[in-house]
Structure 1
Amino acid sequence: MDLPHSPYQIYIDLTELPGEPREIAARIKEAVNQATGLTCSICVAPNKLLAKIGSELDKPDGLTILTPADVPLRVWPLPVRKVNGIGPKAAEKLTALGLATVGDLAAADAGLLQDHFGRSYSAWLMQVAQGHDERPVVVESEPKSMSRETTFERDLHPRHDRPALSSSFTGLCVRVAEDLVRKGYVGRTVGIKLRYDDFRTVTRDLTLDEPTADATEIRRAATECLRRVELNRKLRLLGVRVSALTPAHEHALKPRLPVQADLPFASDE
């Protein structure tokens, strides 16, 4: 379900509900309108990937039923950018390879994709192009991790763009810490995620002696992770993650300190 002029999108598992999917979706649309005065677009589909794509097919105020049999007719003609998870840079690269639509991607050679996007991302591309998505609809759970990441408008060089990368790095650590404090959690494992300009992705983790929600401690640990990564290519994505979470009230936390503005990226050494 997609609310217009709003960042909110909601997944609902209708598997156990009695009635026809179209009738259930129509009742949901009516309930949203009565409660908020807003319209919404809904797609009923077998998985989250198709539900997301389908919710945008008949905007505004749409109601779409999308089945696997509909994928060639309704999904394959769409630009690859319409698939959630294919960003602007990846879409540009796919288009340069002659893969402008989801259908082009579905018919693409697996070796070609792996050569240009790596093994894991190319495997994912081939799956989503066929409309496959195994992610469950999770309605209630304790978070296992909290993360923040950013994809840069242009690829940044670890040395030449060091101030911009360091500023972004600090901001990610601060925002993760704020998320932890706001939701009442601390974590013991701090990790980073880097995606290079060739779409290769690397991660590194460090487990702390004590759990934390402190931005300075998170940044210090993330910097240690960063030192274990080769910084010899431009970066298109940077992320910071804290995992192994437990409720903060179970721990006596140290006083919070201000975040130091050191620069962890490439030096002249």
Structure 2
Amino acid sequence: MPRVIMHMDMDAFFASVEQRDNPAYRGRPLIVGSPPDQRGVVCAASYEARKFKVRSAMPSRTAARLCPEGIFVRPRMDVYRAESARIMAILQEFTPLIERVSVDEAYLDVSAHFTEIPAADLDAAIEAARPMAAEIKRRIRSEIQLTASVGISSNKFLAKLASDLEKPDGLTAIKDSEKIAFLRPLPVSAIHGVGPVTAQGLQALGLMTIGDLQDTPGAQSLESVAGSFATRLRERAFGNDDRPVDVSDERKSISAENTFLTDTDSRPILRTALKEMALDVSQTLAKHGLGALTVQVKVRYSDFTTLTRQLRVEEPVTTERDIYRLACFLLARHRLVTSPLRLIGIGLSTLVDPLQKQLRLPI
């Protein structure tokens, strides 16, 4: 059976929902996030705002400077989650093999629809999936009044790459027989996992395009820049990716953050923020019947330098008190509050069934 993977990605999801619900925002540069007169960041930007180089995670003040005519609206997460549920329900009608990556993005394994096509004729199966992708897009447009971009290929890496190529409202297929030639002219940054630092390191070695990576013998020469990612980097350069579509609905992590209106190193303010976040994440743990074996703290300083530190415990934490205590322990042990903080956060991962045993702090 040929392996056919789709990647569905909503177009500027948060901003598009706001433009759909408020006609006055349509065709206007819309920025979803904190207002520019407050400390905060951009959650999403409409395509009109993106023309001014406004992007998510950018400080709202910077976005306002780049796009003076931008309209700022606060995010309505409950609305976005509800719309996401409707979209995922549509996808479920096409296949139960869905990996939900975020509220607006998912992988679909649709291989079972093409069992009559020989496995050796993978290109034919990928092309045969086009009508299904078009129908998914039509259903989302008709029932949700939003547009989505869909990529089709033989694996997750190529399917996601394809969905990004013709946004918004795109439908792109990358045939397996054409993947190496297709990838050659693309910049190295097109490979998922290659961030700005890795890209700069590769470029310093004269590796500007994916074709340059293809022409580099072995992965060892890439280890000085990419480290343990070097082997996977070379595999991606040839369009190879054996990751399955993960259909488990288990939570992988839980987190909460607080961006302060004014940078602060006040211990009472930081303790209050930590207690509120510890309560937030502990309630999420309780809702899903989980405990956490890994606790992480995140801090961001005035110059936007961001640090994270974590520890692993032997027995799962579940309570607000224990999460708060471990977060304070991490801040103190790593001396993270050496200057005023712009942001502080708590994250939990390695989520497991909770055990009713006493927590012991690591030494």
TM range (shorter): 0.5 to 0.7
The question of whether the paired residues in 2 share the 8 Å contact of 1:206 and 1:221 is answered with: no
Encode CA deviations 1:231-252: one digit per residue, 9 max, x unaligned.
xxxxxxx9955214226xx869
Cα 1:51–1:179 change in 2 (3 A) is farther
Equivalent position to 1:146, from 229, 249, 253: 253
Pairing of 1:118-157 with structure 2 (within 5 A): 118=227, 120-143=228-251, 145-146=252-253
**Cα 1:207–1:253 shift into 2, 3 Å:** closer
The reply to whether residue 243 of structure 1 matches residue 350 of structure 2 is yes
Where structure 1 has 5 or more consecutive residues not aligned to the other structure, the ranges are 151-162, 164-170, 195-202, 228-237, 255-269
Residue in 1 that maps onto 2:106: 10
Secondary structure at the residue paired with 1:2?
A: strand
| Secondary structure of residue in 2 paired with 1:64 | strand
1:160 aligned partner:
none
String of CA shifts for 1:205-256, please: whole Å, max 9, x gaps. Answer: 52244522534144256569969xxxxxxxxxx9955214226xx86999xx
TM-score (norm 2): 0.49
Residues 92-103 of structure 1 correspond to what in structure 2 (within 5 A)?
92-103=200-211
Aligned-pair CA distance for 1:35: 1.2
Q: 1:175 to 1:113 in 2, by over 3 A?
A: farther
Partners of 1:71 and 1:239 in 2: CA distance: 41
RMSD: 4.1
Alpha-carbon distance change, 210 to 111 in structure 1, aligned in 2, over 3 angstroms: closer
Q: Deviations over 1:19-41 (max 9, x none)?
A: 93011111111111101222221
Q: Residue type matched to 1:111 in 2?
A: Q
Q: 1:267 is matched with which residue? A: none
Q: Give the Å deviation of 1:53.
A: 0.4
% identical aligned pairs: 28
Instruction: Look up the match of 1:113.
Output: 222
TM-score computed with the length of structure 1 as normaliser: 0.64
One-letter amino acid matched to 1:187 = G
Give the Cα separation in 2 of the matches to 1:141 and 1:38. 25
Q: Which moved more, 1:29-38 or 1:6-15?
A: 6-15
Aligned length: 217
Letter in 2 for 1:182: T
Aligned equivalent of 2:183? 75
Task: State how far apart, in whole Å, the 1-side matches of 2:188 and 2:279 are.
Answer: 34
Q: Structure 2: state its 5+ residue gaps.
A: 1-7, 15-103, 115-124, 258-264, 266-272, 299-308, 336-344
Is 1:212 equivalent to 2:219 in the alignment?
Answer: no
